[in-house]
Chain A
């Protein structure tokens, strides 16, 4: 079962970087890629909702790189896009190319899906390690009672 499209980019960003780059570049070499918006990297103000009065504020800025393009290959064409907390325009362009290629159902789709699975496993590993840390530091403070004294 293919994961939802919105999960592809963060999964690919967690997979083997060299393999992701090589696959994207191989697709790019045999297709035309045209930008649908200027590929940008810069900063975004992060909006957070404070939980005491429900108002919004900015804890600070975050890096963001974004790409939106059209990929046209002999087998098919599709729009592709990706956004990543990064200043690496090359990486986010490659993620957008893979996003388009998978959406278009190009012959490389199984390879892309394999990298997505690899990335999701890496992310699951991080989540599992965090859960382990929580489990092993879970505390149940007991108030001292008269019997304990």
Chain B
């Protein structure tokens, strides 16, 4: 065998499996994707970025969480958060930036923000409604500063422009698309 073994997280077949699970929970806000069987101990936030990023994308690592090797494997160009297509940020810290929100005729230009949180199975209960949610759904999140939901409300006020959030605890993901309404936020 003369070609190197890639760690599981960086294999194309892993990305395909991850993509399917992320797409499913993005279509059904409130549901959680358990990625533990795919991660080999790596963080779910990194797995999300590995699925999204390649050398055509731009990435901002707001809290400096990525190692040099991880950045090399993600292969995305590093830019400031105001210009990035993908952002990695810590849920415990209030966002100090305004991400790309897209344009009226190109709303898909809005950023996807991967926010690391402590837990998606315990913590404050968020009441979700909107597309993909039958009546309401409850999402529990621990480790998400309150400023995040206020910022998200501002960013998504001019729908279809806005940003989409991917919440990640160490092994799980949940998605808050800009179409989801959070009660009281």
Direct contact of A and B (CB under 8 A): yes
- Using a CB–CB distance below 8 Å, which chain A residues touch chain B? 21, 24-25, 28, 33-39, 67-69, 89-90, 93-94
Residues of B within 8 Å of A39, CB to CB, are 3-4, 6
- Give complex CA distance A37, B156 in Å: 36
Is A37's CB under 8 angstroms from B4's CB? no
Given A28-B2, A35-B6, 12 additional A-B pairs, CB 8 A: A24-B2, A35-B4, A36-B72, A37-B73, A39-B4, A39-B6, A68-B72, A69-B4, A90-B2, A90-B3, A93-B2, A94-B2
Could you say which of A24, A25, A33 contacts B4, with CB atoms under 8 Å apart?
A: A33
Q: Is B69 an interface residue (CB 8 A)?
A: yes
Is B2's CB under 8 angstroms from A25's CB? yes
Q: Is B10 an interface residue (CB 8 A)?
A: yes
How far apart are B12's CB and chain A's nearest CB, in angstroms?
Answer: 10
A-B interface contact total, Cβ < 8 Å: 31
- Give complex CA distance A90, B2 in Å: 5
- Using a CB–CB distance below 8 Å, which chain B residues touch chain A? 2-4, 6, 10, 69, 72-73, 75
- Most B Cβ at <10 Å: residue of A28, A34, A37: A37
Could you say which of A28, A36, A38 contacts B75, with CB atoms under 8 Å apart?
A: A38
Residues of B within 8 Å of A89, CB to CB, are 3
Which B residue sits closest to A24, measured CB to CB? B2
The 6 residue pairs across chains A and B that have the minimum distance between CB atoms: A90-B2, A37-B72, A35-B4, A89-B3, A90-B3, A39-B4
